[in-house]
Structure 1
Amino acid sequence: MNVIDNSKIQENDIDLGLLLSVLAGAKASPLIFYYDGKAVKPGYHVTEVKAGQFSGLDCGANPEAWAEIFIQLWDIEEGDRTHMPAGKFHSIIRKVTEHVQLDRSAKLTFEVSDGVRPMQLYCAAMPVLSAGAVHVTLSPRPASCKPRDRWLAEETSKAAACCAPQAATSGCCA
């Protein structure tokens, strides 16, 4: 049986609330996003923040519904600007909440473009405070099969319950 480590998936797909809580503790620190193996340029802009409620059918004909927040980054360099402070990013999101309802537990997707290449979709890893800056690695948002993902999560949960230290004496993992 192949089991995927879902903890890795979670770490690479944080929600808005988690991002904001980390940024709140490091407001003066530069916020640097990384994608495609490089850092965003110091003059990057947050050009748009969108919130959406989606519903549909997955490939197993199961109804799906979720909230998603899209943050658009324009990866440009302007003059002698530095990377945006985490506090400024936090303020931008706060300003958006005055006009748009943002679910802090919603799936978070970054749309990134340098203004030349087409926009690409990314999910965000857990922010890391290092060398006086907040670093957030973005990875391409892959397509997935929700019925398969649910099945894998269930199998992982069963395996964890069966083989946890307290269950070791039950004989299920012998």
Structure 2
Amino acid sequence: MNNLNPMNWEAFKNTLSENPDKVLQFQYAEGHFVDASYHITEIKQAPIVSVDCGGVMNSWTEIIVQLWEPSVAETDRAMKVSKALSIVNLVEKSLPLNPLGVVKIEFGNSKFDTRQMYPSGFISEGDSFTVKLAADFTQCKAITRGGSCGTTPSGEECCVPAVNTAAPVKETPALEIVGAENQSCTPGSGCC
């Protein structure tokens, strides 16, 4: 699995359930792990609805597992996978989570800015099960639709709304740029 192919919630849970007796660790950077005394503070389900620069609506769901390190490490505390799954079961009694939702792990501490990361790999060694995390990324959804998008170095043609050739094309009014005098941005002008 890699960043370009995020894991869904059902696959993530299934992977965890194959290792119930192991200590669950999260590696957020090379050689850096979330402290073993972490807590799972909440699990969020975030339905996302967006319109891309080509004017096409997109929607998906994200399942975000938030981790927190206490200010004083609890040396006798390390979460087993079975404990994490019991928290998941408790959450799902109140909030049914979309099995196809994209999984993200949210974490930060005093040395690492809080961010949402993707599970990018799993390591099962001895009594531990490690979830390797990879940074979230941005993407242009218009590029994946094919056509001429991406053929110029600037990629500005991606910002042209999809045109339905069967329907009459109506003129789109110029958009006002707040704080700019005598400037406007029209679809396809390359200013997005």
Q: Determine if the TM-score, normalized by the shorter chain, exceeds 0.5.
A: yes
Check if 1:92 corresponds to 2:103: no
Structure 1 pair 87/116, CA: closer, same or farther in 2 (3 Å)? same
Task: Please say if residues 3 and 134 of structure 2, whose CA atoms lie closer than 8 Å, have aligned partners that are also in contact.
Answer: no
- Whole-Å Cα distance in 1 between the matches of residues 94 and 24 of structure 2? 24
Give 3-state SS (helix, strand or coil) of 1:21's partner. Answer: helix
Q: 2:99 aligns with which of 96, 99, 104?
A: 104
Indicate conservation of the 8 Å contact 2:68/2:107, yes or no: yes
Residue 141 of structure 2 is aligned to residue 146 of structure 1: yes
Give the structure, 1 or 2, with the largest relative contact order (CA under 8 Å, sep 6 or more).
Answer: 1
Could you tell me which amino acid in structure 2 is paired with residue 24 of structure 1? S
Partner Cα distance (1:16, 1:143) in 2: 20
CA distance in 2, matches of 1:83, 1:148: 44
Distance 1:88 1:69 in 2: 18
* Among candidates 123, 126, 142, match of residue 121 of structure 2: 126
Separation of aligned partners in 1, 2:144 and 2:3? 11
Change (3 A) 1:150 1:45: farther
Q: Spell out the pairing of 1:1-174 with structure 2 (5 A cutoff).
A: 8-9=2-3, 13-37=6-30, 38-76=32-70, 78-114=73-109, 118-151=113-146
In structure 2, list runs of 5 or more residues that go unmatched: 147-192
Q: In the TM superposition, what is the alpha-carbon distance from 1:149 to its structure 2 partner?
A: 3.8
Amino acid at match of 1:29: K
1:87/1:10 CA distance change after superposition, 3 Å: farther
Instruction: Please tell me whether the aligned partners of residues 44 and 75 of structure 1 are also in contact (alpha carbons under 8 angstroms).
Output: yes
C-alpha contact (below 8 Å) 1:32/1:135 kept by paired residues: yes
Q: Cα–Cα, structure 1 residues 150 and 86, in superposed 2: closer, same or farther, change >3 Å?
A: farther
Residue 83 of structure 1, CA deviation:
2.8
Identity %: 22
Counterpart residue identity of residue 35, structure 1:
Y
For residues 150 and 130 of structure 1, the distance between their equivalents in structure 2, rounded to whole angstroms, comes to 41
Q: Bigger radius of gyration, 1 or 2?
A: 2
CA RMSD of superposed structures (Å): 2.2
**Helix, strand or coil for the counterpart of 2:121?**
coil
- AA in 2 matched with 1:16: W
Unaligned runs of 5+ in 1: 1-6, 152-174
Change (3 A) 1:125 1:100: same
Provide TM-score, normalisation by structure 1. 0.74
What TM-score results when the alignment is normalised by the length of structure 2? Answer: 0.68
What SS is found at the alignment partner of 1:93? helix
1:81 positional shift = 2.8
